[in-house]
Amino acid sequence: MKILVIGNGGREHALIWKLSQSSRVKKIYAAPGNGGTGALAENIPIKADNIPELLAFAQKEKIDLTVVGPEVPLTMGIVDEFEKEKLPIFGPNRTGAILEASKAWTKQFLKEEKIPTAHFEVFEEYAPAIDFLSTQAYPIVIKADGLAAGKGVIIAKDRAEAVSALESVLKDKVFGDAGRKVVIEEFLVGREASFQVLVDGHSFLPLDSAQDHKRVGEGDTGPNTGGMGVFSPSPYVTESIRQQTIDTIILPTLKGLLKRGIHFKGVLYAGLMMTQDGPKLLEYNCRFGDPETQALMVRLEDDLVDVLEATISGRLSELSLHWKPGASVCVVMAAHGYPGDVTTGDVIEGLDRVSLPETVVFHAGTKNVDGKTVTSGGRVLGVTAAGKDMRQARERAYDVCEKVHWKGVHYRRDIGGLK
């Protein structure tokens, strides 16, 4: 079969890497792909948000399965357009993608369905939002309503920082249309974890747990990013927590969606905070996490094609997933300046020296120029390793990080370091 994977990040490279291992797959296309995906797929110069061209390509090449990586095309309705033409595609339709497209909509949904989450208010105007700040305890969380590439969440430690954040989002429009509304919510204390489930419209199948490191600096310091690294499984997602999450968050969400006529298909990604009162939902994403996917794909033992097709056709109840024992760690190597303005075009050295067992370097912000791999984005590489335990996985990943270099590279050195 022929498969089209849409996107150009580390998540897409990991999905292509796993899909390429299926005996059912004869050809993979990546649109647009990156400097690493070309080794396993044919890169096609079509951007992920160019739905008409993607649709025309899929029809021309008779693509058997399209897999959508990033959130933007999902929220634009790519699944709706492909389904109109009877083209199999993995991901939620535009209605289902509202869970990620609008934090305000989702928070209201959670409130109506009594799903545990932080207390919140939604504002479109600057003055009422400022007035609200005087009634709140600090720190406090301010979120842009729409898509902001994982950077639209600001944790303000005091009122001055909160005022500055509101000025940036509502007045200066630093997130553009994504910041037309803001959600102001209480700061939850606990430990974060990612819990993803496959959903086929009615049934669901959990993936193994993972734990992301969102802040740019070691010890969870500095601004939020799209993710600086992840490890799997998370020892903090115990069987009890897992079941509690399913009972109080996942099941009520799926029932609430169906009640509203939303038949969600794809990945439902729950960003959780493990509080003293149990797991609470921070946010929903409507696609595979990045970099969680990198850490999970090196542990998944099943044929990913079978899993994705079962999700699309409503047969998840017939499947079970199998994971390699042990653990995996993904360390994100970032460009100078990330998560702000970044330097690109730097030559990446040392990729030819990577040859450790159970270790894969997934490309994200890279491209090939004159036979060399250079940086082309903020998160450049996701060095991912599996091991018999967390310690071995960490050692393997960081051993590779030390061998790879470019001007201004930076990465956290505490990924997977349990406390």
Q: What is the CA radius of gyration of the chain?
A: 21
User: pLDDT-derived band of residue 418, with 50, 70 and 90 as boundaries?
Assistant: low
Q: How many CA atoms lie within 13 Å of 303's alpha carbon, on the beta-carbon side?
A: 8
The answer, yes or no, to whether residue 352 has pLDDT greater than 90, is no
Q: Note whether 233 and 310 are same-domain residues.
A: yes
pLDDT in tens, 359-373: 999 999 999 999 999
Average pLDDT, the chain: 94
Q: Note whether 196 and 179 are same-domain residues.
A: no
Instruction: Give me the mean pLDDT over the 331-356 stretch.
Output: 92
* Distance in angstroms (rounded) separating the CA atoms of residues 368 and 349: 13
Question: CA 245 from chain center: how many Å?
Answer: 19
* Distance in angstroms (rounded) separating the CA atoms of residues 28 and 37: 10
Looking up residue 341, the CATH number of its domain turns out to be 3.90.600.10
Q: Note whether 214 and 305 are same-domain residues.
A: yes
Looking up residue 298, the CATH number of its domain turns out to be 3.30.470.20
Q: Note whether 336 and 290 are same-domain residues.
A: no
Q: Note whether 136 and 238 are same-domain residues.
A: no
139 belongs to a structural domain:
yes
pLDDT in tens, 381-403: 999 999 999 999 999 999 999 99
pLDDT at 127: 94
User: pLDDT-derived band of residue 224, with 50, 70 and 90 as boundaries?
Assistant: confident
162 neighbors 140 (Cβ within 8 angstroms): yes
User: pLDDT-derived band of residue 419, with 50, 70 and 90 as boundaries?
Assistant: very low
398 belongs to a structural domain:
yes
Q: Note whether 180 and 195 are same-domain residues.
A: no
**Cα–Cα distance list, 330 to 339, 376, 408 (Å):** 18, 20, 20
Lay out the sheet containing 65-68: strands in order across: 42-43, 27-32, 2-7, 65-68, 89-90
Higher-pLDDT residue of 192 and 386 is 386
pLDDT at 247: 97
Backbone angles phi, psi at 385, to 5 degrees: -140, 145
Q: Note whether 182 and 195 are same-domain residues.
A: no
273 belongs to a structural domain:
yes
Q: How would you classify the pairing of strands 229-232 and 327-334?
A: antiparallel
Going by C-alpha positions, the residue among 143, 334, 144 that lies closest to residue 227 is: 334
Q: Note whether 252 and 355 are same-domain residues.
A: no
The answer, yes or no, to whether residue 3 has pLDDT greater than 70, is yes
> Amino acid identity of 44?
I
Q: Note whether 132 and 157 are same-domain residues.
A: yes
Domain tally for the chain?
4
| Token digits of residue 171 | 């007045």
Which of these ranges, 12-16, 237-241, 250-254, 378-382, has the smallest mean pLDDT? Answer: 237-241
98 belongs to a structural domain:
no
Q: How many CB atoms lie within 10 A of CB 322?
A: 9
Looking up residue 164, the CATH number of its domain turns out to be 3.30.1490.20
247 belongs to a structural domain:
yes
Q: Note whether 310 and 378 are same-domain residues.
A: no
100 neighbors 68 (Cβ within 8 angstroms): no
pLDDT at 163: 94
pLDDT at 357: 75
323 belongs to a structural domain:
no
Q: Which of 161, 186, 211 is the last residue of a domain?
A: 186
pLDDT in tens, 273-319: 999 999 999 999 999 999 999 999 999 999 999 999 999 999 999 99
291 neighbors 231 (Cβ within 8 angstroms): no
pLDDT at 390: 95
Q: Which residue has the tokens 């850490």?
A: 295
User: pLDDT-derived band of residue 30, with 50, 70 and 90 as boundaries?
Assistant: very high
Q: Which of 186, 209, 244 is the last residue of a domain?
A: 186
Backbone angles phi, psi at 20, to 5 degrees: -65, -15
State the burial class of residue 389 (Cβ atoms within 10 Å of its Cβ: 0-12, 13-18, 19+): exposed
Q: Note whether 234 and 284 are same-domain residues.
A: yes
pLDDT in tens, 61-119: 999 999 999 999 999 999 999 999 999 999 999 999 999 999 999 999 999 999 999 99
Query: Can you give the residue range of the structural domain that contains 271?
Result: 191-318
Going by C-alpha positions, the residue among 300, 354, 348, 293 that lies closest to residue 324 is: 300
pLDDT at 304: 98
Q: Record the pTM.
A: 0.93
* Distance in angstroms (rounded) separating the CA atoms of residues 291 and 347: 23
